[in-house]
Structure 1
Amino acid sequence: MKRIYLSGPMTGLPHPNFPAFAAMTTSLRADGHTVTNHAELNPDGGSWNDCMRRDIAALVYCDTVATLPGWEHSKGACLEVLIAERLGMTVVNPNDLVSMG
């Protein structure tokens, strides 16, 4: 199984998109993947810079980045994907990792 960093938009979304992060994290973990979810890393929020520092530190220990819908409109998620690509990590749609069973 993979060690997955879940990336996606948060800023400006209702409940900072935590329900979408939680649902996908649950699905991926049920399939046996280890998931790092930046919503879990930053449950109390904080400044964008502080959150991104924690997120990037966690990202580098994963082998795959899975992107939630709308990631391409998120400054933070775009940065995470760029870092992942430059480090040679796999970037995927998380639905492609969830079993269809």
Structure 2
Amino acid sequence: MKRIYLIGPMTGLPDLNFPAFATMTESLRAGGHTVISPAELNPDGGSWNDCMRRDIAALMECDTVATLPGWEHSKGARLEVLIAERLGMTVVNAHDLVRGVGDSNQV
């Protein structure tokens, strides 16, 4: 079982993209994974800096990062992927994990 940190765009999106995070979190958990979602870590939002501090601390507790569509357009998600890559963590497309494909180290 993987401990997965879910990454995706939030800032500027309707409802901070929480529905996409909730749907993917549910799908990954149904597959037996432990999932950490920034939408659950920061349910009331907050400043970008405060959220990123919580998110990066949670990221450090995971071994896999799963990306949602559009992550590459998000300043925070790009930072999280960079950290994960530099630390040698597995980075995969979240949809590939749901389909059972995600064992690559590439996004």
* 1:41 aligned residue: 41
Is 1:94 paired with 2:94?
Answer: yes
Quick one: distance in 2 between partners of 1:3 and 1:89? 11
Unaligned regions of 5+ residues in structure 2, if any? 101-107
TM-score of the pair, normalised by structure 2: 0.91
Q: Does 1:58 align with 2:58?
A: yes
Aligned to 2:71: 71
Instruction: Give the number of aligned pairs.
Output: 100
Identity of aligned residues (%): 84
Of stretches 90-99 and 45-54 in structure 1, the one that deviates more from structure 2 is 90-99
Asked which structure has the greater RCO (Cα within 8 Å, sep 6+), the reply is: 1
Task: Give a deviation string over 1:42-91, Cα, whole Å, max 9, x none.
Answer: 00111000000000000011000000000000000000000000110000
The answer on whether the counterparts of 1:31 and 1:99 sit within 8 Å (CA) in structure 2 is no
- TM-score, normalised to structure 1, is 0.97
Give RMSD over aligned pairs. 0.9
